[in-house]
Chain A
Amino acid sequence: MSDEKDAAAPGSGGRREFLWKVGLGAGVAALAGQTVASLRSLVPNVSYDAPTTVKIGPPQEFPDGLKFLPDERLFVFRDGKSFHAVSAVCTHLGCTVRAEALPRAETKTIDGVPLRLTHRFHCPCHGSKYTGDGSNVSGPAPRPLAWYQLSLAPDDGQLVVDLAKEVGHDFRFTLA
């Protein structure tokens, strides 16, 4: 038994100290495990959010000019057979911008393609302003409004917007 007393001396690495370290380690590991598990459980594994690819209706139902889709927070513009979609989410802090009709529509060449501008956009939260193609012209907005890709659904011929796919300002979806 006198050996055991020597083994208990600190730093001697004896059996008692070894067991003490195992016990402490087990306790700390258990606590750390609980903490990690608790925090990890708060990171969502499944998204119940709305899908990013959305059918927004048959193209013939869109009027010439602008239609606002509140659920997608999206402006869809139509000029004859050509369509494009501009996001209504302000690039500054995510409020929904409002469209204001211009007194007179004008046509400008943007990214090499002519575009008929009928509206401009204002943000109610911090006063950002955008031109009809979504370019930020004043206020705190750091970027132009996003343009999203439009296509036709192969099954029922509805317009489909892909809210995860940004496109350039020269993008047009043209009906055949």
Chain B
Amino acid sequence: MKLTLPFRSDEPSAPGVHPKPLWSWSPKSDREAGDAVVSNFALHWFPAKVFKPSLDWNYSFWLGTASAALLLLLTLSGLPLLLLYIPSVERAYGSVKDIEYVVTFGKWIRAVHRIGAHLMVAVVFLHLVRVFLTGAYKNGSGRGQKREWNWVIGVVMFLLTLFLSFTGYLLPWDQLAYWAITVGTNIASSIPAVGPTIRWLLLGGREIDQATLLRFYVLHCFFLPVGLGVLFAYHMWRIRKDGGLARADREALLAEKRETPAGPTKTYTLLGVARGQAPAIRAASLEAPDVSVNAVNDLVRRIAIVVLGTIAVVGMLAVFVPSPLEEPANALITPNPAKAPWYFLWLQEIVTITTVRIGKFTINGAFLGGVILPGILVFLATFWPWLDRSGAAGAGVWFPADRKKQNTVFLAICLVIVVLTVVGTFMRGPYWHFYWPWQSWPEIPSRI
């Protein structure tokens, strides 16, 4: 007797339904590839077909996918740390020291988390640079596209990434942590009128203490990652709604329409069919079968390579790059020089040089360089899609002539930030004096 289960039946359960979900990771036919996206939970967020040039390594460099891979890796490597770290001012430093020197694999897990975080700041920034240079926030031909809003979401996600890093390096409660909170919250405090209240709320009191550590801990472990996760999901959904990468828009808008044989899965108007004996449709080359590929597995394979490759690279780097742990937090001694992590050093340079004196009136560099200037940069970045006047030819391609001017200015700003970062990292010694890398720093007693 042959046992037939309903889902194994060869008979369709309703008209138009496939009798058997035929799908595989390496589909033999377009139908199997399409069914994979419909039948498999892990694949359901992919489109059935992908515009082939969008997958080119040298168009997007897959920086967005690498960012997402880093977010995944940071979430996973954060879980064991969550169980090993104690958010108390007395015990935080000791627990991080234990993770570093006592816990089996603790040193490696912490290094993975730390290097992953550093790389994420860099990769998310490079992703933003790529999207700007290729004008990928510009809408193309699709209906209901809101690429500019996905750019805004992206800017917010970049800021969340920076804030996650900032709150993360406070947790060891070492000297770096303590003086970073001191400087960071004093920047907030420099805002006229409301500044001191903002600092007081951030710290949970007048001084940096237990309340401060707990606030930053909960931000780091809950609010910021959850916020980033939600925005990430929306970011992905918008890419689907906007019809994939801007490169596909470019093809639809600008490429010559050409004769394309009608596919068996498409329905055409009677008129179109009646004109010729064998139906051939003049369509954008986007529709041509040779420029689009199945998501399963051309897209899936590339995503797997990028995600697993990113995780492997971080895992290997973490073996060789140790994570520093400075002396325990000491409110009595400021390290000399006291440096922020590299991605904030350009800001440290800027707050140093932006104190302005007009007669007897002085504006603190903390406010001008720490709040106003970064505020202007974030404001410009956020609303740039509405200020950008380049045409459709300026989107979805590297270095378009149409965007020459704005790309040059954008790259100049990036260059200034990079130069300031390099100066802050390698050329600042005790008392923030300038030293060339080959100059030695003077001997300065570590205690007063």
CA distance A165 to B304 in the complex (A): 63
Taking a contact as CB atoms under 8 Å apart, the answer to whether B430 and A93 are in contact is no
Contacts of B335 in A (CB 8 A): 124
Selected from B189, B211, B364, B431, the residue in CB contact (under 8 A) with A124 is B431
| Minimum C-beta distance from B257 to chain A (A) | 49
Check A42 for interface membership: any CB of B closer than 8 A: yes
Per-position 1/0 for B358-381, Cβ under 8 A of A = 000011111000100000000000
A143 within 8 A of B: yes
CB of A32 closer than 8 Å to a CB of B: no
A124 to B431, alpha carbons, bound, how many Å? 4
Q: Chain B CB within 10 Å — which of A93, A95, A96, A98 has the most?
A: A93
The contact size tier of chain A is 20 to 34
Q: B179, B209, B351, B355: which has the most chain A beta carbons within 10 Å?
A: B355
Cβ < 8 Å to B, chain A residues 107-155: 122-127, 139-143
Interfacial chain A residues near B333, Cβ < 8 Å: 70, 96
The residues of B that contact A124 with a CB separation of less than 8 Å are: 334-338, 430-432
A96 to B175, CA, bound (A): 13
> Does B88 sit within 8 A of A, measured CB to CB?
no
Who on chain B is nearest to A47 by CB?
B205
Nearest Cβ on chain A to B171's Cβ, whole angstroms: 19
B433 touches A127 (CB 8 A): yes
Residues facing A in B342-368 (CB within 8 A) are 348, 351-355, 362-366
User: Complex: how many Å from CA A48 to CA B89?
Assistant: 14
Contact A140 B364 (CB under 8 A): yes
- In the complex, the answer to whether B209 meets A94 with C-beta atoms within 8 Å is no
- The residue on B at minimum CB distance from A94 is B186
- Flag if B336 contacts A98 (CB, 8 Å): yes
Evaluate contact between A142 and B205: CB separation under 8 angstroms.
Answer: no
In the complex, are the beta carbons of B355 and A92 less than 8 A apart?
yes
Residue B201 at the chain A interface, CB threshold 8 Å: yes
Q: Is B204 among interface residues, defined by CB-CB distance under 8 A?
A: yes
B448/A95 in contact, CB under 8 A: no
Contact between chains at B362 and A142 (CB < 8 Å): yes
Contact A126 B351 (CB under 8 A): yes
- Asked if A50 is an interface residue, CB under 8 A from chain B, the answer is yes
Whether, in the assembled complex, A99 has its beta carbon less than 8 Å from a beta carbon of chain B, the answer is: yes
Q: How far is the CB of A46 from the nearest CB of chain B, in Å?
A: 9
Q: How far is the CB of A172 from chain B (nearest CB, A)?
A: 24
B residues at A contact (CB < 8 Å):
179, 182-183, 186-187, 189-190, 200-201, 204-207, 209, 211, 215, 331-338, 348, 351-355, 362-366, 370, 430-433, 448
| A interface list, Cβ under 8 A from B | 42-44, 47-50, 68, 70-71, 73, 91-96, 98-99, 122-127, 139-143
The 10 closest A-B pairs by CB, nearest first: A127-B432, A70-B332, A124-B336, A140-B365, A140-B355, A142-B364, A126-B352, A94-B186, A95-B334, A93-B186
